[in-house]
Structure 1
Amino acid sequence: MREKTTLASLSPYVPGKPLAEVQQAFDLAKVVKLASNENPFGSSKKVQAALKEALGDLEYYPDGGAKALKTKLVEFLGVKENQLLIGAGLDDVIQIISRSLLNPGDEIIVADPTFSQYELHGVIEGAEVVKVPVDSQGLMDLAGMLAAITDQTKIIWLCNPNNPTGTYIPQREIASFIAKVPSDVLVISDEAYQEYVTCEAESTSLPLLGTYANLLVMRTFSKAYGLAGLRIGYAVIPEQLGRAFEIVRPPFNTSSLAQRGAIVALEDQSFIAQTVAVNRLEMAKWETFMAAHGLTYYTSQANFIFFDTQKDSHLLAQKLMATGFIVRAGLRPGWLRITVGHEEDNQQLRQTLAPLLASEQ
């Protein structure tokens, strides 16, 4: 038996260690996971109550068309139902898009660094991945992306705010960029962290959908909404791509619990507002810490901060794990990404991190 040839250069995703495993390995009373950009404040209490009520119908397949969730999103976003693609998290949405559109020899353009799944699924489908490095401030180089477009370019992935840098491109610059992109090239704005943006009132590319037919916008319930465990996300798509996406999308790709949780989550925007307010307050403390220790970091509009430790970040992450803090290394040599957590956890992590940064490795 032979595997697909495009898989030869790829490696399976390696998930982080479970909390219980870390706790046992290091004999810790408490472990704080700040590696995957989940919401440390959990999810809406209204969602938790609704999920308990929904446990009685698990013998039935979910609504394959996610009709009720689409109806709620139409109301919430002001879009049409046939503009919506629902997926088991954005990983699923990215896979559906890539499988629907990419042929061997096509090209996709991504920032470097950015979310790894764009490249992974491009390579699986036989596409060439063109990487455009972020600038000195960690911002996507839109001019460089425009210059990288060729006749083979099929998709341009914009993660905004970008993961792992956390940096954000204002919507006027996004609009100017799309206006210069050929109409047969799909521009995808991944807004997984959109709810956390505070530097701009209109922090979404959704209003641009009416102007640009080659724009697609993605959102998730895994981050600010705190529903990462349910696996639910969506895209607002060009209508002409709906048929292709629905052919590729598995018929029951999102569970009934995930659909119900997402509906109720949208109804509790006060939870989102509180999450964002606390995140911004705690982010300011991290920025003060970075400046005090002379560390290079990128200004983040997400719920994490990415910084240069000036050390072996893998070793540093291991040392932090031994003290009960799980953070993310490996996204760029020497750099760590830390999710913003609860006030007391953030403070304890900074107190633990400071002497490690000052020590010689």
Structure 2
Amino acid sequence: MLLELRSVVDRVLAAPDRSSRGAQPPIRLSQNEMPWAPADVIVAAMTEAARNAHRYPDYHRTAARAAVAEAMGLDARRIAIDNGSGTLLHALARLVCEPGVHGVRPGPSFEAYAAALSLAGAESTEVGLDANGAMDLDAMLAAVGPETRIVYLCNPNNPTGGLRGVEDIRDFLKSVPSSVLVVVDEAYREFVSVEPLDATVGLLDEFENLVLLRTLSKAHGLAGIRVGYAAAAPRIAEALRRTSVGFALNSVAEAAVIAALSAEGLAVAKERTAVIVSERARVEAALKAANVAYVPSQANFLFLPGDAADLLSRLEARGVLARPFPKAGGARVTIGLPEENDAVLAALI
């Protein structure tokens, strides 16, 4: 056995050292991440929090909730914050669903909606998108029945990037029974360029059954920290807070929230999202000029219709990692830095 082990080790040591070849790392455009490290103000706050990691974080997340509330112009009683917006969308399903009830979700869209409903014991109906890759609100309304307790809307939609404007959302909410919870997942809201960032926030005063979900993973570049928040009627936000796992928001994450939503942190996020939006427009224009199919997007990615395997192969040949969606009939590629986007264009044009 020892001789066999030595033989294996010898072969490994004799093999060429690929790390010394200077191979370029892949261009990671598969996860809708921001291409920059967190802003300096966020890193400084997280570093300071790490020095006090021997202390428990704030159980009630008071300071983080206050930071979110101020940034959104809302009362802190309307805010619940947790370990990622995915945690919150699962929590909302558990709040209102049980075996025998029903939920409505879009598709193709974020896979977590189906999982949340299934784990809560609910049946669900998947409703296809409209021609622009956005929510088909008429079809979703038609899918709402007597047993429906929750509807998920992804706006802009992932993976297609289609958006329904605030007036469309308002009309939908007017038509949905008030007993149905409408969860609008706005993970990519900061990249929307056709209406203001806060356009949907005013809907919370009109509809008690509305929940807005947002995240710090995208625009603020904090995907690895796992922070998401919900804005809703006080009773819904309180229910989320009461059913949340204690200390789920760690002290480093809380410090990141407060710094990200400070004036300095918001200014950095605004500057960076503007770069992504500008690059999105440039890439779309180049694809359009070359007659390459794409779905116009209001997020930080583009959906490319076509054979997913072929698209991935062409992108990988240029060192680009993208995300395949074979059931949706295409692939999704994140908008990155200009040179990264140039590699995408070189692969497609």
The two structures have a TM-score, normalised by structure 2, of 0.89
**Aligned partner (choices 312, 323, 341) of residue 328 of structure 1:** 323
Q: Which residue of 2 aligns with 1:169?
A: 164
Query: What amino acid maps onto 1:281 in structure 2?
Result: S
Q: Superposition RMSD on alpha carbons, in Å?
A: 1.9
> Whole-Å Cα distance in 2 between the matches of residues 201 and 29 of structure 1?
39
Cα contact 2:26–2:320 (8 A) shared by 1: yes
Tell me the CA shift for residue 126 of structure 1: 1.5
Matched, 1:95 2:94: no
**Aligned partner (choices 26, 31, 38) of residue 31 of structure 1:** 26
Q: For residues 173-184 of structure 1, what are the structure 2 equivalents within 5 Å?
A: 173-184=168-179
Matched, 1:232 2:227: yes
**Aligned partner (choices 296, 301, 305) of residue 299 of structure 1:** 296
Q: Which residue of 1 aligns with 2:80?
A: 85
Cα contact 2:93–2:120 (8 A) shared by 1: yes
**Aligned partner (choices 275, 278, 289) of residue 278 of structure 1:** 275
Q: Which residue of 1 aligns with 2:15?
A: none
Tell me the CA shift for residue 76 of structure 1: 1.7
Alpha carbons of 1:109 and 1:331: their partners in 2 closer, same or farther (altered >3 Å)?
Answer: farther
Tell me the CA shift for residue 263 of structure 1: 0.8
> Whole-Å Cα distance in 2 between the matches of residues 158 and 204 of structure 1?
16
Identity %: 33
> Whole-Å Cα distance in 1 between the matches of residues 34 and 244 of structure 2?
27
Tell me the CA shift for residue 64 of structure 1: 1.7
Shift >3 Å, 4+ stretches: 318-323, 331-334
Cα contact 2:317–2:347 (8 A) shared by 1: no
| Stretch deviating more after TM superposition (44-53 or 165-174) | 44-53
Asked which structure has the greater CA Rg, the reply is 2
Cα contact 1:295–1:308 (8 A) shared by 2: no
Which stretches in structure 1 are left out of the alignment for 5+ residues? Answer: 1-22, 355-361
Q: Aligned with 1:187: secondary structure?
A: strand
How many pairs align?
A: 329
**Aligned partner (choices 334, 344, 347) of residue 349 of structure 1:** 344
Q: Which residue of 1 aligns with 2:185?
A: 190
Cα contact 2:79–2:231 (8 A) shared by 1: yes
> Whole-Å Cα distance in 1 between the matches of residues 119 and 181 of structure 2?
19
Deviation per CA, 1:254-296, whole angstroms, max 9, x where unpaired?
1110110111011122212211221122112221233234333
Q: Aligned with 2:343: secondary structure?
A: helix
Query: What amino acid maps onto 2:128 in structure 1?
Result: P
The two structures have a TM-score, normalised by structure 1, of 0.86
Q: Which residue of 1 aligns with 2:9?
A: none
Cα contact 2:57–2:251 (8 A) shared by 1: yes
Tell me the CA shift for residue 342 of structure 1: 0.3
**Aligned partner (choices 105, 119, 125) of residue 124 of structure 1:** 119
Cα contact 1:111–1:132 (8 A) shared by 2: yes
Matched, 1:259 2:254: yes
Q: Aligned with 1:192: secondary structure?
A: coil
Alpha carbons of 1:204 and 1:106: their partners in 2 closer, same or farther (altered >3 Å)?
Answer: farther
> Whole-Å Cα distance in 1 between the matches of residues 198 and 303 of structure 2?
21
Q: Which residue of 1 aligns with 2:241?
A: 246
Cα contact 1:314–1:330 (8 A) shared by 2: no
Which stretches in structure 2 are left out of the alignment for 5+ residues? Answer: 1-17
Deviation per CA, 1:63-100, whole angstroms, max 9, x where unpaired?
12111111212222222222111111111111211222
